[in-house]
Chain A
Amino acid sequence: MAGVTLRGVRKSFGRIEVIHGVDLDVADGEFVAFVGPSGCGKSTLLRLIAGLEEPSGGDLSIGGQRVNDRPPAARGIAMVFQSYALYPHMTAYDNMAFGLTLSRTDKRTIAERVRAAARLLQIEDLLDRKPRDLSGGQRQRVAIGRAIVREPQVFLFDEPLSNLDAGLRVQMRLEIAKLKADLRATMIYVTHDQVEAMTLADRIVVLNAGRVEQAGTPLELYHRPRNRFVAGFIGSPAMNFLDVVSEGRADGSVRVWLPGGVPLDVAVGGAAPPAGAPLTLGVRPEHVGLADGGAGLVATILAVERLGGETHCHAALEDGQRLLVRLDGDRPVAAGERLRLNLRGETAHLFGPDGRRL
């Protein structure tokens, strides 16, 4: 087992640079998820680690050894592709055994390893079948089995669940979590689904436009996003952002005025912005409460989405700014009604004009 280290890794396609110097340490046995919007470079970064793309600059090491010039097979990695990429003309067994056959491992070892992986993934009955006779979930298992059989130091997953339907995706997500516990291998997992990232990963790396926006544990990203991008990307439904005006600093917090003349004190870490500076207030839909009395932020409900367990209210403040409020499933609210909302300073975030969290 081994960790993965990236130092100033860059990648250009022609004149366009898509990865702008990424530094990253993945510890031995850690499960790291790369998330970000499409085109952010998360798959490219994974392919750089796999050796399927050559870095234009920087150093890449796996298990303490520089692997820039090594072919994929000599890096101690195994990759699970989004499209499974099973060899269509081979049985599940042969698919899993192919890599070992090429490295001239003796037949008995191959059989042992394939059977062991098949047992782990519960596909022992399917080993004689061709990929076309397997369902999506079964193919995915075979693809994961092919990776396990190689006994890699690092597993790379490229959006492995995105081709499965919703129910199966949840099931496979649990299985990957189990696999992570069983194998204790280093895993890097690319996904655009933040639920997968939040539930599976020890650490999440949020990428945007070829840069690392923030790397941290799922809850760190949720509670202390470094900037507005991460704040908006992590969490579902997404965080609300409101334009507010700062009144200045007092006792480690900043007082801002919300629309309708409601004050709010938000704790900040760094230097406080001058009074009158335009700031962005971020507050998650689940942290917007209903005010008890007559005080609070006044909002008009525009639309109500009932999901059963919870209710999403799209509301507009007095000055027209939109806000999403998450309420209980059975709360009797309807479009056109007025709500009195209560925001709390400790669950709100303030972002400066450059998008950084204060």
Chain B
Amino acid sequence: MGLKRMIGRVAFALLVLGIVAWAVFPFAWAIVTSLKAGSALFTVEAWPSQPSLANYTAIFKEQPFGRNILNSLLAASSVVALSLGLAVLAAYALGRVRFRGRGLLLFVVLGVSMFPQVAVLSGLFELVRWLGLYNRIGSLVLSYLIFTLPFTVWVLTTFMRELPKELEEAAMVDGAGPFVIVTRVFLPLMGPALAATGLLAFIAAWNEFLFALTFTLTDDARTVPVAIALMSGASQYELPWGQIMAASVVVTVPLIGLVLLFQRRIVSGLTAGAVKG
């Protein structure tokens, strides 16, 4: 029996190892590549023999990458702030107020998120032009709300529904109106849900490519994913792999940091309501 258990443990460890390798390898390879310079790129080695940070300095000197990061940050944080703000208010209405057509409305919200991005692209382009937002960050904030709002609304609605009714009633007896109930009673209790949905919205906005490619034209309006994809070398025949990898590492590390920072809250946010307590 001891032997059987031993084999089981070893097999399990191998499985875990395999999964970790599968998940981490691409990123590790990107780090390794980003530290290589010139023709060293094309040698296969676990760690570069002469690691250099040249690629990292290059992306900020030769490319407007600092500006791109700023754009991405601006777009993603605006999207997070706007979608959380709107979603909290919508969640109160959809989760706590009884009205005709509430279920239908929730499904419409969900339905919106099922449209492929390409299907709405041309229409959105017209809208963006009409609003005068072309080649501005505003166009991205507007279009990103299309895919962040449905899931923020859904997650927060579910969460809000789980909050005890007596709490709202106690606040009503205390003289609170709907806005005060949302902001001063419910909002402080929604920390985990807000952290989880906010982070997911941030990641979605941070990684978005198609809208960002379509609605921006010049380097100083571009966001990170587009900038990386369009990075060009000294000649049109050269793809600056080293710089691309360096850029990828630079934009991935903050995300990993955020996830690690919020990971406990994300888990409790996503499973909120699943189990009482």
Interface residues of A (CB under 8 A from B): 50-52, 71-73, 77-79, 81-83, 85-89, 98-99, 102-103, 146, 150
24 CB contacts below 8 A, A to B, read A50-B173, A51-B172, A52-B173, A72-B173, A73-B173, A73-B174, A73-B176, A79-B169, A79-B170, A79-B173, A81-B166, A81-B169, A83-B166, A85-B169, A85-B170, A86-B170, A87-B185, A89-B188, A98-B174, A99-B173, A99-B175, A102-B175, A146-B170, A150-B174
| Complex: A161 Cα to B274 Cα, angstroms | 29
Residues of chain A within 8 A (CB-CB) of B170 are 79, 81, 85-87, 146
| Complex: A86 Cα to B166 Cα, angstroms | 9
A311 to chain B, nearest CB (A): 42
| Complex: A284 Cα to B175 Cα, angstroms | 47
Does B53 interact with chain A (Cβ within 8 Å)?
A: no
Residue of A nearest to B168 (CB): A85
Additional A-B contacts beyond A73-B175, A73-B176, A89-B189 (9; CB < 8 A): A72-B172, A73-B172, A85-B167, A87-B171, A98-B171, A98-B174, A99-B173, A99-B174, A102-B174
A77 to chain B, nearest CB (A): 7
Does B21 interact with chain A (Cβ within 8 Å)?
A: no
* Tier of interface size on chain B: 10 to 19
Residues of chain B within 8 A (CB-CB) of A99 are 173-175
What 10 A-B pairs have minimum CB-CB distances, sorted nearest first?
A73-B175, A99-B174, A85-B166, A85-B170, A89-B188, A72-B173, A81-B166, A102-B175, A79-B173, A72-B172
Considering the complex, which residues of chain B in the window 184-240 have a beta carbon less than 8 Å from any beta carbon of chain A?
185, 188-189
| Complex: A150 Cα to B175 Cα, angstroms | 10
A80 to chain B, nearest CB (A): 9
Considering the complex, which residues of chain B in the window 110-155 have a beta carbon less than 8 Å from any beta carbon of chain A?
none
| Complex: A103 Cα to B171 Cα, angstroms | 12
Residue of B nearest to A143 (CB): B170
Residue of A nearest to B176 (CB): A102
Interface residues of B (CB under 8 A from A): 164, 166-167, 169-176, 180, 185, 188-189
A148 to chain B, nearest CB (A): 13
The reply to whether B169 and A83 form a contact with Cβ atoms under 8 Å apart is: no
Residues of chain A within 8 A (CB-CB) of B174 are 73, 98-99, 102, 146, 150
Residue of B nearest to A90 (CB): B188
Residue of B nearest to A156 (CB): B173
Residues of chain B within 8 A (CB-CB) of A87 are 167, 170-171, 185
Residues of chain B within 8 A (CB-CB) of A78 are 173
The reply to whether A102 and B180 form a contact with Cβ atoms under 8 Å apart is: yes
Residues of chain A within 8 A (CB-CB) of B169 are 50, 52, 72, 79, 81, 85
Residues of chain B within 8 A (CB-CB) of A51 are 172-173
| Complex: A146 Cα to B189 Cα, angstroms | 20
B172 partner, pick from A52, A82, A83, beta carbons under 8 A: A52
A149 to chain B, nearest CB (A): 10
Residues of chain A within 8 A (CB-CB) of B164 are 83, 85
Residues of chain B within 8 A (CB-CB) of A86 are 170
Residue of A nearest to B180 (CB): A102
Residues of chain A within 8 A (CB-CB) of B173 are 50-52, 72-73, 77-79, 99
| Complex: A50 Cα to B169 Cα, angstroms | 10
| Complex: A81 Cα to B167 Cα, angstroms | 9
Residues of chain A within 8 A (CB-CB) of B166 are 81-83, 85
A211 to chain B, nearest CB (A): 25
Residue of B nearest to A86 (CB): B170
A10 to chain B, nearest CB (A): 20
A172 to chain B, nearest CB (A): 18
Residues of chain B within 8 A (CB-CB) of A50 are 169, 173
B86 to chain A, nearest CB (A): 23
B172 to chain A, nearest CB (A): 5
| Complex: A58 Cα to B243 Cα, angstroms | 77
| Complex: A73 Cα to B169 Cα, angstroms | 10
Residues of chain A within 8 A (CB-CB) of B180 are 102
Residue of B nearest to A158 (CB): B166
A71 partner, pick from B167, B172, B185, beta carbons under 8 A: B172
Residue of B nearest to A147 (CB): B173
Residues of chain A within 8 A (CB-CB) of B188 are 89
Residues of chain B within 8 A (CB-CB) of A79 are 169-170, 173
| Complex: A296 Cα to B86 Cα, angstroms | 79
Chain B CB within 10 Å, residue with most, of A50, A79, A150: A79
Residues of chain B within 8 A (CB-CB) of A88 are 189
| Complex: A102 Cα to B181 Cα, angstroms | 11
| Complex: A146 Cα to B170 Cα, angstroms | 10
Residue of A nearest to B165 (CB): A85
Residues of chain B within 8 A (CB-CB) of A98 are 171, 174, 176
A145 to chain B, nearest CB (A): 13
Residues of chain B within 8 A (CB-CB) of A73 are 172-176
A100 to chain B, nearest CB (A): 9
Chain A CB within 10 Å, residue with most, of B164, B171, B174, B189: B174
B90 to chain A, nearest CB (A): 22
A244 to chain B, nearest CB (A): 48
A160 to chain B, nearest CB (A): 12
A101 to chain B, nearest CB (A): 9
| Complex: A28 Cα to B164 Cα, angstroms | 33
Residue of A nearest to B167 (CB): A85
Residues of chain A within 8 A (CB-CB) of B167 are 85, 87
| Complex: A72 Cα to B176 Cα, angstroms | 10
